[in-house]
Amino acid sequence: MIEGTLGAALAATRVLPVVVLSDAAEGAPLTAALAAGGLPVVEITLRTTGALDGLAAAVSKVPTALVGAGTVTDALAATAAIDAGARFLVSPGYDDGVVEVGRANDVPVLPGVATATELMRARAAGFDIVKLFPAAFLGGAAAVAALAAAFPGVGFVPTGGVDATTAADYLAHPQVLAVGGSWMLDRAMVAARDWEQVRSAAAVAAALGVAS
């Protein structure tokens, strides 16, 4: 499965920064700072009007990073993200259209699940790596442990409410490939275009993955 390449990248970095751009101009320098700090796999969410342009700039200007699109909720968004250069797609839930577009274009998809039923659906479609969302509100590391016990062959990427304090708890579980979050992206720091501070914060976050 093409998702294996994404899984390997996530297992290597263990922390997936979830980026919400307020301005397309932030895309490339923000991604470069994250990569320089040790977080080269970056999810740029499609939550703002400048997201696609920012993603395209990051892909073209930061070749050392693996840049994907997040909050991909339907086939139309998936197509637009791939056209912008997204190397992978992340969805908050499971959508057949997103999966079909991703696989038709050989672009890995990380589908979101919140229940055992949704996880079974993802497995039936051939996925063995899923995003658990919103992880903190589903029970945190305990929820991961409960699902992992029932599905020992599945790798999890908990996202949603994960922060510097709880990341290590998730990463301690052997079935957690990586955690996703935005805690290393202080909005004031980004608004000030203080890319060195972003790099420094990314390095601290990256160290959580190394230490786990």
CATH of the domain at 58: 3.20.20.70
| Residue 43 known to be catalytic | yes
Q: What is the pLDDT of residues 8-49, one digit of tens each?
A: 999 999 999 999 999 999 999 999 999 999 999 999 999 999
Q: Which of 26, 61, 118, 131 is catalytic?
A: 131
pLDDT category of residue 161 using cuts at 50, 70 and 90 = very high
pLDDT at 3: 78
210 belongs to a structural domain = no
Across the range 187-205, mean pLDDT stands at 95
Domain that holds residue 63: 3-201
Neighbour-count burial of 137, counting CB atoms closer than 10 A to its CB (0-12 exposed, 13-18 middle, 19+ buried): exposed
Cis omega before residue 134 (within 30°)? yes
Judged by DSSP in three states, 126 sits in coil
Q: What is the pLDDT of residues 110-143, one digit of tens each?
A: 999 999 999 999 999 999 999 999 999 999 999 9
194 belongs to a structural domain = yes
Q: Which of 3, 43, 100, 118 is catalytic?
A: 43
| Residue 61 known to be catalytic | no
Give φ, ψ of 106 to 5 degrees: 55, 40
> Is 151 a residue whose pLDDT tops 80?
yes
Report the domain count for the chain: 1
